[in-house]
Amino acid sequence: MKKRIAIFGSTGSIGTQALDVIESNPDKFEVEILTAHHNDELLIQQALKFKPNAVVIVDEKKYTGVKDALASTDIKVFAGESSLEDVAAFNSYDLMLAAIVGFAGLKPTIKAIENGKPIALANKETLVVAGDVVMKLAVEKRVPVIPVDSEHSAIFQCLVGESRNPIERIILTASGGPFLGRKPNYLVNVKREHALQHPNWSMGTKITIDSATLMNKGLEMIEAKWLFNLEPEQVQVVVHPQSIIHSMVQFRDGSIKAQMGLPDMKLPIQYAMAFPQRIPNNFPRFDFNKSSQLTFEAPDTKTFRNLALATDALYKGGNLPCIMNAANELAVWAFLRNRIGFLDMTNVIEQTMERVTFIENPTLEEYFDSDGEARNYAASLIQL
């Protein structure tokens, strides 16, 4: 039987690539649900092509346009943020691809887990913000959470067959982004268009900026802690500019397993959707004969302080990662609109982490409160 996929965030980078994978494997997958925040035109195109059971456009002002465009079909059309949770509770799909960017992906993902739906997780912020709550619920409901991020997918793949072998540490690889080796006197003048020029990966704007600041790697450290039930000291970051080794696992005997491949998000997307199978594809293959070298170096946390801030949040825990994530989302939003400079993003995040109330063992409601408080404080710094 075909696996019915619900793509939450279908118009973003992960969502569009997932639809490419589905289109290439019509005998294995079919689209059941598509959701978008405001890109109604692309959502309509996707819906007409893939004929899902339902679509959600979060921007309620665009509901009528989407409904009218799909009036000749049997596709159900919903609007608003609450509809994401309503649709996540549907019983008509087999796997949720959680690809909504940022904090907004948390509620529908929780709703899907509550209803026993397996998750292909591309939204790292869900675990950064409330990893303890989400993973505890996944265990209670016996719901698999399969990572889609290339680094976490790599670790997941390295751990298949190793359930009885304790992890000594995991090693997350970072490309270093477009400013590897640069110092603050260069970064102070960086503009939006420079930061969006990633050397290896083609990604959405938010994650590309996070990669340029190394915040993305900090978020991944926190996500890895929850995904793989690790202590903070078991998570290490190393810069690997070629982005061929996507991450590694070192076991207690000192052996290291790595997952390798060309930087192409379609591979971890396909792996997560087809798991436990590996299905064939025509993606480009890595050729060792054409690779001159693979190099590694320690990250520069004095220049790229976001990674140091994220490491502090990883070790301190509580609601601090939630606070950090909220401030980062506001800071990236402002930078992309030329409201603040590249280095200002770090200052906003650091000041917000220092000022918002720390809670050691927050409830889910307190996570939402902390997110709101952090966004308000960050906005006051940016003077939005």
* 189 & 321 share domain: no
Pair type for strands 3-8 and 29-36? parallel
Structure tokens given for 107: 């509620």
Instruction: Check which CATH number belongs to the domain holding 357 and give it.
Output: 1.10.1740.10
Closest CA to 148 of 28, 256, 326, 18: 18
CA atoms within 13 A on the CB side of 66: 30
CA gap 327, 210 in Å, rounded? 12
Local confidence band at 384 (pLDDT 50, 70, 90 cut-offs): low
Average pLDDT of the chain to the nearest whole number: 95
Mean pLDDT score, 297-311: 97
Domain annotation covers residue 92: yes
Q: With pLDDT > 90 as the criterion, what percentage of the chain qualifies?
A: 92
* 206 & 70 share domain: no
pLDDT value for 182: 93
pLDDT value for 288: 92
* 142 & 157 share domain: no
* 18 & 58 share domain: yes
* 83 & 206 share domain: no
Domain annotation covers residue 227: yes
- The answer to whether residues 82 and 60 touch, using CB atoms and an 8 Å cutoff, is no
Domain annotation covers residue 274: no
Domain containing 28 equals 3-147
Name the 3-class secondary structure at 272. helix
Instruction: Check which CATH number belongs to the domain holding 129 and give it.
Output: 3.40.50.720
Mean pLDDT score, 60-82: 97
In the chain, the number of structural domains is 3
Domain annotation covers residue 115: yes
* Other CB atoms within 10 Å distance of the CB of residue 291: 10
Structure tokens given for 25: 């494997």
All residues at 6 or more sequence positions from 140 whose CB lies less than 8 Å from its CB, including other chains: none
Q: What pLDDT, in 10s, does the model give residues 145-178?
A: 999 999 999 999 999 999 999 999 999 999 998 9
* 93 & 168 share domain: no
* 338 & 377 share domain: yes
Q: What pLDDT, in 10s, does the model give residues 75-122?
A: 999 999 999 999 999 999 999 999 998 888 999 999 999 999 999 999
* 117 & 202 share domain: no
* 37 & 166 share domain: no
* 305 & 156 share domain: yes
Q: What is the DSSP string of 134-193?
A: HHHHHHHHT--EEE-SHHHHHHHHHHTT-TTS-EEEEEEEE--GGGTT--HHHHTT--HH
Confidence check: pLDDT of 133 > 70: yes
Predicted structure pTM score: 0.93
Please count the helices (runs of H) and the strands (runs of E) in the chain. 16, 11
* 161 & 305 share domain: yes
pLDDT value for 291: 77
CA gap 350, 338 in Å, rounded? 20
Q: What is the DSSP string of 35-85?
A: EESS-HHHHHHHHHHH--SEEEESSGGGHHHHHHHTTTS--EEEESHHHHH
* 113 & 211 share domain: no
DSSP 297: B
Domain annotation covers residue 253: yes
Cross-strand bridge partners of residue 8:
35, 98
Closest CA to 122 of 137, 102, 139: 102
